[in-house]
Amino acid sequence: MSKLTAAIVGPGNIGTDLLVKLLRSDLIDVHSMIGVVKESDGLTRARDMGIPASHEGVDWLLKQDTLPDLVFEATSAKAHLANAPKYKEAGITAIDLTPASIGPFVCPAVNLDQLVEAPNLNMITCGGQATIPMVHAVSSVVPVDYAEIVASIASKSAGPGTRANIDEFTETTSHAIEKVGGAQRGKAVIILNPVDPPMIMRDTVFCSIPADADKDAITASVHKRAAEVQEYVPGYTLRVEPQFDEPRDIWNGMARVAIFLEVRGNGDYLPPWAGNLDIMTAAAARTGEQLALKRGN
Amino acid sequence: MTAAAFNPSAESPAKIRVTDSTLRDGSHAMAHRFTEEQVRGVVHGLDSAGVEVIEVTHGDGLGGSSFNYGFSAVDDVKLVSAAVDEATSAKIAVLLLPGLGTVTDLRMARDAGASVARIATHCTEADVSLQHFQAARDMGMETVGFLMLAHRIGPDELARQARIMVDGGAQCVYVVDSAGALVLGDAQARVAALVKEVGAEAQVGFHGHQNLSLGIANSVLAAQQGALQIDGALCALGAGAGNSPTEVLVATFERLGIPTGVDVQGAMAAAEDVVKPFLTRLPFADRGAITQGYAGVYSSFLLHAERAAERYDVPAHEILQKVGEAGYVGGQEDMIIDVALQLAKEKEKAAG
């Protein structure tokens, strides 16, 4: 079996959680962990796990005799915008966990097969990774004129970057619901809840569906897709069966399906309630592994 | 005895600016079905009575029209335009909840003539509002911060959140009793803490609900602690058991000798002749609404709980009680269905 090598840039909580996941992988060998702060906790953790680590940034990485096949960017949109051209020039594929959106949106359970050769792949948002598989599960059975998602996350799991630019979440996720999920029009809402102990990530997906939609076919498609996501996010579960509402005038005569999800994190480095962060690192790791499988031969 | 003699504290009390939210918080009670004609009528009545600020938006703010919160009959921007057209001196305000509405929505409202941006966050999450305050100030709008479900944290912690909003560009920060759960001294202490923390640079406001019938009393205490902006709604039209009725607020303040600039007869006429005839539901402290005040539940959840109760055949007040225990915050309307489904499941199990 052929493996790919990968560096992680950004040794924060996300980068460390990703490292734990990649160390378990049979398809990825971790090349190095890259940061910019000397002796940072994240770099120390990586070294303790036996991984070469440097605080000298991407320039250090690109000077190495052997370059990785992949780089996982777990820094910020600004840093990725600066780093992306360097990766490209060096022939390294970037899997981008920031909101930079340089490359196409990727959701492993939906559209990864079409993006195997892309030099840069964007992981959308946590809410996008959780909900787009469900929107797509519905839109592959019936036309979805409008899909709306509500992501509720624990306040503690929302970092300063998310908080300073929360519009980026709603706008990027809405866009990806259309582009990847297959809805004509998308809308996304994010709610931060400070309750203690912290709440596990919850996502609700509403899709408008035709009045005569085949409910059994939609339900079957939702279950099938949820099982596919569970392959890489074990804590991804449907809380209840999809809920169907009859057509209403205020919905332009359309009916509605509502899908209730819980995303419990794997507890690799981040705690289980941070399912929003876990699904990002799990989706990124899955993307890397799939590239290894598909490019390997 | 003069009216001013009723006021135990101030010698010459500061003027209170009343913001009327009939056309925003009242949107919840109307299931977001306001028509342009209703908006014009209410704005005309309030503006004629001398109300200085009128809020017009979907109950959940700009971008609120959705499956989760209810679709608007008429687009917010269209209603804002109509309100701006109808008002002769009142400013038109809009509400925005970061995470739901965006700066793009705010810009559209500003272009339609809205001049006051009210940015609302859960009381512990003030830092998600900074990009919106910045954008509002850059657009030349007046800014107001809304710290919702203010009963969930203590006065000092609330004041620290108000500080974040003021440093980010808020010109006023409200103690927002979204659950109608603050009981007298609770409201008083929170307003006092905010005045102490930000009073030198910004105003402090109070937004009350009637779930425990304390909207007016809490507003009076707030004013006595130095709040300078107070919210009301005609006929109390708002979420839960409604808001502090604007017509009662201005009458009470006049009796206390606290100037509001609003004509009491004009406000009463607007409530009686304009709003009351179109009400589909008179705000009332029924079992569901009292449970909200008692258990500290976001008032806007009431109609959603009633709908889920009907759909899944479980009592609305039990749903609301559970929602309170879970600590759900504004915007988590989807969790009401989730709770109703759990209750239905438990009921089924109990039945055998």
- Dihedral sign of CA atoms A270, A273, A278, A280 in order: negative
* Whether pLDDT at B8 is above 70: no
Q: Which residues of A are catalytic?
A: 126
Q: Which of B338, B341, B240 is nearest to B298 (CA)?
A: B240
Residue A243 confidence (pLDDT): 97
- Which strand (E) or helix (H) includes residue B19? strand B17-23
Which pLDDT band, with edges at 50, 70 and 90, does B282 fall under? confident
Tokens 């809205």 correspond to B114
Phi, psi of B57 (to 5 degrees): -165, 160
Q: What HEC string does B154-212 produce?
A: CHHHHHHHHHHHHHCCCCEEEEECCCCCCCCHHHHHHHHHHHHHHCCCCEEEEECECCC
In A, residues 233-292, which contact B (CB 8 Å cutoff)? 239-240, 243, 250-251, 256, 258, 260
Helix axes B155-167, B185-198, angle to 10 degrees: 40
DSSP assignment letter at A171: H
B10 burial level (CB within 10 Å; 0-12, 13-18, 19+)? middle
* Residues forming beta bridges with residue B49, ordered by sequence position: none
The model's confidence at residue B1, banded by pLDDT at 50, 70 and 90, is very low
pLDDT score at B11: 63
Residues of B in contact with A165 (CB under 8 A): 131
Q: Rounded to the nearest 10 degrees, how much is the dihedral formed by the CA atoms of A120, A126, A127, A128?
A: 20
Residue A1 confidence (pLDDT): 59
| Mean pLDDT per 10-residue section of chain A, whose length is 297 residues | 91 95 97 94 95 97 97 94 97 95 96 94 97 98 98 93 92 97 98 96 98 98 98 97 96 96 96 95 98 83
- Of chain A, the end-to-end C-alpha distance in Å amounts to 9
**Partner-chain contact A260 B331, CB within 8 Å:** no
Average pLDDT over residues B232-260: 98
Give the SS3 label for residue A190.
Answer: strand
For residue B13, the model assigns a pLDDT of: 86
Residues in B closer than 8 angstroms to A190, CB to CB, are 99
CB A288 within 8 A of CB A74: no
Question: Does residue B235 carry a pLDDT above 60?
Answer: yes
A163 contacts in B (CB within 8 Å)?
A: 125, 127-128, 130
* Dihedral, CA of residue B347, residue B348, residue B351 and residue B352, to nearest 10: -140
Q: What angle do CA A128, A132, A134 make, to 5 degrees?
A: 140
Environment class of B273 (CB within 10 Å of its CB; exposed 0-12, middle 13-18, buried 19+): exposed
Please give the full DSSP string across A46-101, using - where no structure is assigned: HHHTT--EESSHHHHHHHSSS--SEEEE-S-HHHHHHHHHHHHHTTPEEEE-STT-
A171 touches chain B (CB under 8 A): yes
Residue A5 in 3-state DSSP? strand
Mean per-residue pLDDT, B35-63: 98
Averaged pLDDT, B241-269: 98
